[in-house]
Structure 1
Amino acid sequence: MLIAFFVNDMDREHAGFTTTVLAHEATRRGHRVCYVTPGDFMLNPQDELHVHARFAPQKKARTAAEFFKNMQAVDHDAVTIDVREIDVLMLRSDPSLDAQARPWSEDVGIIFGRAAAERGVLVLNDPDSLSLAINKLYFQSFPEAVRADTLITKFASDVKAFAKDHGGKIILKPLQGSGGQSVFLVGSENASNMNQMIEAITRDGYIIAQAYVPAAAKGDIRLFLMNGRPLQIGKKFAALRRVSSKDDIRSNIHAGGKAEAVDITDKELRVAELIRPKLMADGMFLVGIDIVGDKILEVNVFSPGNLQSCSKLAGVNFATPIIAAIERKIEIAAEFAGAFDNRALAVM
């Protein structure tokens, strides 16, 4: 099986990224792996879709770090192949990272992911649904019971009224973006700076004002869902608690947050179950959700991270069941040729 991983660009990849861990596990299980970036697609005059792919070296890598080093060595050695040679295309880019500097590439994975699916490639997550999730408005399609009160606007007066209705303590963040960029906690101690916060966010688009969930003081829980259900091995879940650094509300690991082991309780499982139907209907194979109390703050359907940290904290390899699930999807596609569309097959 050939699995292609679509990423923003090779220079921004890292040995500890979830993509690296998954790619390494795929090679460990005997599959071929290649990387594709936004500028690598080519549609020829015969309407054949090709990609300029970077293939992982044939030599086995004992660790994800060693695999990543091997990939760096072939960074500029692209090989042109017909997309139909690819069995699975995993869309692992974060569109928000390219929204400002390279807007042309923001939705390239979605556009050519659709074209690849039309040519028989299994595309994960489903590109049609990803097109609806390219900004945080997708979050509003989940049940109200799992969402904190949310306002989306570009008017400062709306935000101020919302803050007043919620006791003056709210979270402000951009509608588009990730990684904890431009996220502010508004409270009594900095309410006088609200105008500057609003201006900083609305300069680039719409603003999300969200009711503050007190449980956030203890950090949030990142939980991986696969095929709509919590990813687990035995009784161990692919999850961790992310605690923000001192004087910083952002719990994202690369924004200074710290990862800790966490016990998944019936409360978190209930939250996951409430959003499962939507994820299944949308063909969202691998998703990372951020839970605070009984609410979800984020649903990452593009490039959920921290899988390696989850594995280390639990003492198991969560990449193994993920690749195994992909293998089964390819088997199903062969057993029921043409019976299922990409969205349905993605979560089988």
Structure 2
Amino acid sequence: MKIAFIINDHETEKVNYTTPGLGYSAYKRGHDVYFIGVGELSYASKGHLSIRCKTIKDANFNSQETYFKALQKESFTTISSENLDILFLRNNPADEINKRDWAQNAAYIFGEIAMSNGVIVLNHPSSLASAVNKMYFQHFPEILRPQTIVTRDHNEIKAFFKDQKQKMILKPLQGSGGTNVFMMDKKNEHNLSQTIDAICRDGFVIAQEYLTEASNGDTRLFLMNGEPLQADGKYAMMQRVNASGDIRSNIHAGGKPQPAKMTDQIMKLAELVRPKLVQDGMFLVGLDIVGDKLMEINVFSPGGLNVINQMYDADFYAPIIEAIEKKVYYKSMYEGYLQNSRLATL
């Protein structure tokens, strides 16, 4: 099959990221693999995408790192969406905020065009468009979520702070990686107005219940086709432990990864989110869990599989590529009968 991955930019994509790992796994299985920066997308007059991309063929590599370094040294080539089987949207719109605002929604806009050309697009682009900020999270059952308000009103946030016994989390509606996430309590209450102002500069503020279990970090669990991702009988999950004195457990923010154990509580939580993820065509997502609550659902470019692979000495990339191969097969068998949103999680 011919599979293309959209990344933010070739200059910022690192060799150990999850997306190069997925690409290398597909390459080892004999597929044609292409990497596309958001800025390399274009719409041709004939109604299809004409894409500048990087690819490499007919070479042997002994690791993800050597593969991706060699690919990045290749000159750009062009491919049409008419010749693609899969377009995997793996860019993170949050990384473009206040940098390249035009790039935030480009991938799923162009993804819609690719879909009309018969390409299977993952995750489903129409659903990604509605999930570009953390408000998507509020569409899942209330029992899964910490108490939350989303507003720009200082008085509402201060009233929520009082209701939460003067301890809560503040973060922007848009963003990822632990950027501009603050824990407010009695000690820093004098900075509350200033903190709200700082977050409001970029839009709406999420004020969220503080979960005491968060002091131990959070659990990142990958779901594929709505089910916990497994390889060799092991689950793709890790505990991310906060750096000293930091409420954030994101790896990019200094969180330390540790092995995590699947529990009945986590499995029940995953089962509750499955129906909507399947309905929305969310093929590969990352759940961030604290206790029995979901903190976030990363539907754009959940990372950390490289760390999890090493942690458990397992290959979690392979079952993802195998699942994509099945989608291509199903599409060929049911030409014109299966919509992209259904194929995405089939």
Short-chain TM bin: over 0.9
Distance 1:220 1:56 in 2: 38
Q: Deviations over 1:305-335 (max 9, x none)?
A: 0011111111110001000000011010111
Deviation at 1:57, TM superposition (A): 4.1
Deviation at 1:46, TM superposition (A): 2.5
Please tell me the residue identity of whatever aligns with 1:2.
Answer: K
Q: How does 1:1-20 map to 2 (within 5 A)?
A: 1-20=1-20
- Cross-structure match for 1:25: 25
- Cross-structure match for 1:112: 110
Deviation at 1:288, TM superposition (A): 0.3
- Cross-structure match for 2:67: 67
Q: TM-score, normalised by structure 2?
A: 0.98
Distance 1:58 1:97 in 2: 33
Deviation at 1:15, TM superposition (A): 1.4
Deviation at 1:21, TM superposition (A): 0.7
Deviation at 1:101, TM superposition (A): 1.2
Deviation at 1:201, TM superposition (A): 0.4
Distance 2:20 2:37 in 1: 14
Question: Matched residue of 2:42: which SS?
Answer: strand
Deviation at 1:56, TM superposition (A): 2.7
- Cross-structure match for 1:162: 160
Distance 1:96 1:250 in 2: 17
Q: Deviations over 1:42-66 (max 9, x none)?
A: 2222223211111134312211111
Instruction: Tell me if the contact between 1:286 and 1:301 (Cα under 8 Å) persists in the aligned partners.
Output: yes
Question: Matched residue of 2:179: which SS?
Answer: coil
Question: Matched residue of 1:4: which SS?
Answer: strand
Instruction: Tell me if the contact between 1:27 and 1:60 (Cα under 8 Å) persists in the aligned partners.
Output: no
Question: Matched residue of 1:334: which SS?
Answer: helix
Question: Matched residue of 1:47: which SS?
Answer: coil
Structure 1 runs not aligned, ≥5 long: none
Deviation at 1:105, TM superposition (A): 1.1
Instruction: Tell me if the contact between 1:57 and 1:70 (Cα under 8 Å) persists in the aligned partners.
Output: no
| Count of aligned pairs | 346
Deviation at 1:241, TM superposition (A): 0.3
Deviation at 1:155, TM superposition (A): 1.1
Please tell me the residue identity of whatever aligns with 2:257.
Answer: A
Coordinate RMSD, CA, aligned: 1.0
- Cross-structure match for 2:123: 125
Question: Matched residue of 1:181: which SS?
Answer: coil
Distance 1:245 1:42 in 2: 42
Question: Matched residue of 1:305: which SS?
Answer: coil
Instruction: Tell me if the contact between 2:232 and 2:314 (Cα under 8 Å) persists in the aligned partners.
Output: no
The reply on whether 1:295 has 2:284 as its aligned counterpart is no
The reply on whether 1:147 has 2:145 as its aligned counterpart is yes
- Cross-structure match for 1:257: 255
Deviation at 1:252, TM superposition (A): 0.6
Instruction: Tell me if the contact between 1:240 and 1:259 (Cα under 8 Å) persists in the aligned partners.
Output: yes
Deviation at 1:235, TM superposition (A): 3.1
Distance 2:126 2:67 in 1: 31
Please tell me the residue identity of whatever aligns with 1:219.
Answer: G
Instruction: Could you list the structure 1 runs, at least 4 aligned residues long, displaced by more than 4 angstroms after superposition.
Output: none
Please tell me the residue identity of whatever aligns with 1:52.
Answer: R
Distance 2:181 2:251 in 1: 14
Distance 1:281 1:270 in 2: 18
- Cross-structure match for 2:200: 202
